Structures are given as C-alpha cells and as structure tokens.
Structure 1
C-alpha cells in the first residue's frame, strides 16, 4: 500500500532531522524545484540540499513539529516549527508554511515561507 502524501511530507522532515540528506533527496523527483521567501527565486532540489548540509555542523539538534496539515489531491500544505538547539544550549525556532506538490509519490515542488524567532519569543 502506498503511503499517504501527508506522511511522505513528514518523512522528508524526519530525514532532515537525522541529517540524512541522501535519503531526503531521494524523496524528490530529479527535476524538483524549491521556492523560498528569501527573495532569491527558485532553486533546484540539489541546490537546496547543499544549502541544508551545513546544519549538521551548526546545530546539536533539530526537530520539526508539524502543527497543521492539509491535503488535496497531489498537494500538501503544512504549518510547522523547526526547533533548533546549538552546542551552547541556545535555542531558536523557525516557523514556516510549506507547500509540497507530488508526482508519482515523489516531491516535485516545494515552496517555503519562513520566519525565525528566538525560542519562546515573537516573530521579528
């Protein structure tokens, strides 16, 4: 039985938590694209994975908390909080809304809109 697309979106995050970048990449189509609200436009999934790899050395722990998720057809939209902990035990959070579009069970498009805040603080 094929896994629910909402579960696939969450599994992608779990692989990132484990710094399993190859496993995460395998969940995307070859031509997958990523858009981010940083004003830099679109990037390939390989560029995005390259951007994420430094997280492994920068943080002792990262954990995703999915707060809401909506599914329709081949699309998933979710709100999530990424909890980050550094070696000095300082913490921060990244609040995000992420859109996933799937083709053949793989992620073909991801769009992220994020806002970083100190843990327990308010968005800037």
Structure 2
C-alpha cells in the first residue's frame, strides 16, 4: 500500500475535522491568509467566511460526511472529487458532487478552488439556514 503524502494527510485531516464539526481543528489546518474560490461567481472568501459555511453545515446537516471518490497529490496541493452527504433538517438526503483543488504549503491549506452545482448548494444552504433560524 502506498505511503500517504503530506499534502493528502493535511487534506484528509481537514475533511475529517469538518465531518466531526471540529472547526478549531479545521481552522488550524488553513493558512491564516488562505483564500477560497467557488465557481458561483461570488468571488473569493477568506478562511473565516468559509468556516462559517462549514459551521452552518455541521449544525444543520445530520451525518455530514465527504465520500471521496478521487484524491491525487499534485505536488503543490491535492486534486479531489467527493460527494458531500448528510440529512437536511427537512429529512431530505443531501448529495452534492464537488471537484476541488486544495493548495498546500507548510502543512496548511493555502488556497481552495471548488467546483459544484450552484443550485444544489443554494438549496442546501437555504434549507440549513431555515432550520437554525439564520
């Protein structure tokens, strides 16, 4: 079995922290000046804005998990495909396919470029916010 690269270990630890709802651990795996870009046209987020979305997800989505179908060390980061899964507050099962590049430097995530279906994300966030009164 091949040895896990440092980049993959960082990315794996990050997603496991988010799944557990341990946003302090996730924050520690981001570089302080990390930037997160999504294909939704809203521009880039900083670390704290991105963690706020994960906070909403971990609060409102039961059984939140990332089913990774592909993860490749690209030298300066990791290419990953996964499906975000869990149960929304209305009982609906969430399934969001995502492809992303996570740049890693110094043992921390420095940049994320994330591609997903915008309509599905909007539905998940709206449903989650309604459940927590946000």
Place the TM-score, normalised by the shorter chain, in its bin.
0.7 to 0.9
Aligned match for 1:45, one of 40, 47, 54: 47
Task: State the superposition RMSD in angstroms.
Answer: 1.8
Give the match for residue 21 of structure 2.
19
Give the match for residue 86 of structure 1.
88
Alignment of 1:81-120 (within 5 A): 81-115=83-117, 116=120
Structure 1, unmatched stretches of 5+, are 118-124
Q: CA deviation at 1:103?
A: 1.2
Q: Give the strand-richer structure, 1 or 2.
A: 1
- Scaled by the length of structure 2, what TM-score is found? 0.79
Give the match for residue 36 of structure 1.
38
Q: CA deviation at 1:107?
A: 0.6
3-state secondary structure, aligned to 1:50: helix
The count of corresponding residues between Structure 1 and Structure 2 is 116
Give the match for residue 65 of structure 2.
63
Q: CA deviation at 1:91?
A: 0.3
Instruction: State whether residues 61 and 86 of structure 1, in contact with CA within 8 Å, keep that contact through their aligned partners in structure 2.
Output: no
Structure 2, unmatched stretches of 5+, are 122-134
Cα distance in 2 between the residues matched to 1:25 and 1:57: 16
